[in-house]
Amino acid sequence: MTSIDPLTFPPGFLWGAATASYQIEGAATEDGRTPSIWDTFSHTPGKTLGGDTGDVACDHYHRYREDVALMKDLGVGAYRFSIAWPRVQPGGSGPMNAQGLDFYRRLVDELLEHDILPWVTLYHWDLPQELEDAGGWPNRDTAARFAEYAVQVHAALGDRVRNWTTFNEPWCSAFLGYASGVHAPGRQHAPDGLAAMHHLLLGHGEAVRAIRAADPEAKLGITLNLYAISPADPASPGDLDAARRIDGLANRIFLDPVLLGRYPEDVRQDLAGISDFGFVRDGDLETIAAPLDLLGINYYSRHVVGAPDPDVPAEPYWRAPTSWPGSEDVRFLKRPGVPVTDMDWEVDAPGLTETLVRVAKEYPPVPLYITENGAAYADTVEPDGSVDDADRVAYFDAHFRACHDAIAAGAPLHGYFAWSLLDNFEWAWGYTKRFGMVRVDYATQQRTIKASGHRYREVTKHNGLAG
């Protein structure tokens, strides 16, 4: 155990806020931006709730100054945002679009003027549509396109941006995008999902190598969405095996190649009926395991799983069976009495500690950052316009404590980014799910700091839970 004050985080702990391009920017056709797979998908009837799209979203493209001022007001020390690939390199290959890059230059300058560290995600799901038309992530060439794009974005912003992550949640891009199809581009073919996974990881490794060669001092990493996993009944061999399989597909199939340079053998065997992993070429795993300066972890909840039972109905959305290639028969359970968020995700803060400690224990040392954590709740606006989101305040507080517990247990956690700064376009759920510390009235674009934002201001100010 490391000895630290129970309420305070180590000096220099980074308190940040996170967003993603398609979820907040809007300005979908402005200044040379061309469609991404999320434009196409959200404009396809039936793909998002209510037919919602990111056309306007939070109009952050025009209101970024106001949004940076909000961050400053909340005492946020770092801002994690993503670059929209089709804004800066329309079509996904060839020359860069100066107007698109200029937006991010203005944003970065604004952040630095407010002493907020810019933290760039190069890919948060908005693949240029042309690259999907050429085969998308199941096509190996997309990895090379990504590395080229990454190097050029770094060349434009690298003098002022020092922290870079390549991908946000490749699990979602690969399996929700190409296996279950509940996310863009909406394809439903498990072997493509696995090929997409490998090429996302390959693109990560190639980009890390290329940026490293250009800028040895840059801090480089990737963000994975990791889950705590439990068997429904720890005494049941079937449930234990279900937990092993889901841990394999959610966590280890990404952690192992990135940090250990290999795919987990048991998971490859689980997947043998779907893919022979013929997409892996000599040298790929070495590339994928290029040394990192940081690992970003997005943590939201725990999966409690059980052995197959044909009488139990399938779960909707990302727990849709086909989001889990080769383990479509595993049951996802909800524990009676455990509170859930508006996403129907169980609130499980100890799972965050468990996840951090597990990564620290089972993998080679790498500085860890929580790059997303937060909760959707159906907020109520009071007559005076305020939002007293007590449930979100409680969610955040419990997870701050969980981070603190992980540090006390020796996990090298250096920062935390709340998801999200603003209410925003929640993918297939459209605007129905609100994750923000700041409410957005989509009709007027008015921003209102919620109670959770006011609470976060106290946390950033005291570097912890005092006050």
169 vs 206, beta carbon nearer ligand FCB: 169
**DSSP calls for 318-337:** GGSGGGSTT-TTPEEE--TT
268 vs 399, beta carbon nearer ligand FCB: 399
Q: List the catalytic residues.
A: 169, 372
How near is the Cβ of 67 to ligand FCB at its closest, in Å? 16
Q: Out of 25, 67, 169, 270, which residue is the one contacting ligand FCB (CB under 6 A)? A: 169
Contact between 172 and ligand FCB by CB under 6 A: the answer reads yes
Q: Out of 85, 123, 396, 419, which residue is the one contacting ligand FCB (CB under 6 A)? A: 419
How near is the Cβ of 169 to ligand FCB at its closest, in Å? 5
Contact between 20 and ligand FCB by CB under 6 A: the answer reads yes
Contact between 21 and ligand FCB by CB under 6 A: the answer reads no
Phi first, then psi: give them for residue 117, nearest 5 degrees: -75, 125
Pair 152, 146: CB distance under 8 Å: no
For residue 403 the two structure tokens come to: 């981070």
How near is the Cβ of 25 to ligand FCB at its closest, in Å? 13
Asked whether residue 324 is marked as a ligand-binding residue, the answer is no
Contact between 346 and ligand FCB by CB under 6 A: the answer reads no
Asked whether residue 171 is marked as a ligand-binding residue, the answer is no
CA distances from 398 to 19, 110, 347, 394 (A): 21, 32, 9, 6
* Radius of gyration from C-alpha coordinates of the chain: 21
Asked whether residue 23 is marked as a ligand-binding residue, the answer is yes
Helix 451-462, helix 390-408: angle, nearest 10: 30
Contact between 348 and ligand FCB by CB under 6 A: the answer reads no
Task: Check the CA dihedral 127-444-66-12 and report its sign.
Answer: negative
Q: Out of 38, 64, 119, 427, which residue is the one contacting ligand FCB (CB under 6 A)? A: 427
Asked whether residue 163 is marked as a ligand-binding residue, the answer is no
23 vs 230, beta carbon nearer ligand FCB: 23
Stretch that binds ligand FCB, among 62-70, 153-161, 166-174, 304-312 (CB under 6 A): 166-174
Q: Out of 21, 166, 168, 301, which residue is the one contacting ligand FCB (CB under 6 A)? A: 168
Contact between 120 and ligand FCB by CB under 6 A: the answer reads no
Asked whether residue 85 is marked as a ligand-binding residue, the answer is no
Region 217-236 residues binding ligand FCB, contact defined as CB under 6 A: 225
Contact between 426 and ligand FCB by CB under 6 A: the answer reads yes
Q: Which residues contact 332 (CB under 8 A, 6 or more apart)?
A: 303, 304, 305, 315, 319
Asked whether residue 426 is marked as a ligand-binding residue, the answer is yes
What x-and-dash track marks residues 364-403 binding ligand FCB by CB under 6 A? --------x-------------------------------
Is beta strand 331-333 parallel, antiparallel or unpaired with respect to 294-298? Answer: unpaired
Stretch that binds ligand FCB, among 108-116, 164-172, 259-267, 384-392 (CB under 6 A): 164-172
Please tell me the chain's helix, strand, coil percentages from 3-state DSSP, rounded to the nearest 5: 45, 15, 40
Pair 251, 226: CB distance under 8 Å: yes
Q: Say how many residues make up the chain.
A: 467
How far is Cα 130 from Cα 273, in angstroms, rounded to an integer?
Answer: 31
**DSSP calls for 338-365:** --B-TT-PBP-HHHHHHHHHHHHHHS--
For residue 379 the two structure tokens come to: 């907020």
**DSSP calls for 162-210:** -EEEEEE-HHIIIIIHHTS-SSTT----HHHHHHHHHHHHHHHHHHHHH
What x-and-dash track marks residues 276-315 binding ligand FCB by CB under 6 A? ----------------------x-----------------
Angle, vertex CA 226, rays to CA 336 and CA 367, nearest 5: 135
Stretch that binds ligand FCB, among 5-13, 168-176, 194-202, 449-457 (CB under 6 A): 168-176
180 vs 463, beta carbon nearer ligand FCB: 180
Phi first, then psi: give them for residue 100, nearest 5 degrees: -65, -45
Asked whether residue 427 is marked as a ligand-binding residue, the answer is yes
Q: Give binding residues as ranges.
A: 23, 124, 168, 300, 419, 426-427
Q: Give binding residues for substrate as ranges.
A: 23, 124, 168, 300, 419, 426-427
Which residues sit at the interface with ligand FCB, rule CB under 6 A?
A: 20, 23, 168-169, 172, 225, 298, 372, 419, 426-427, 435
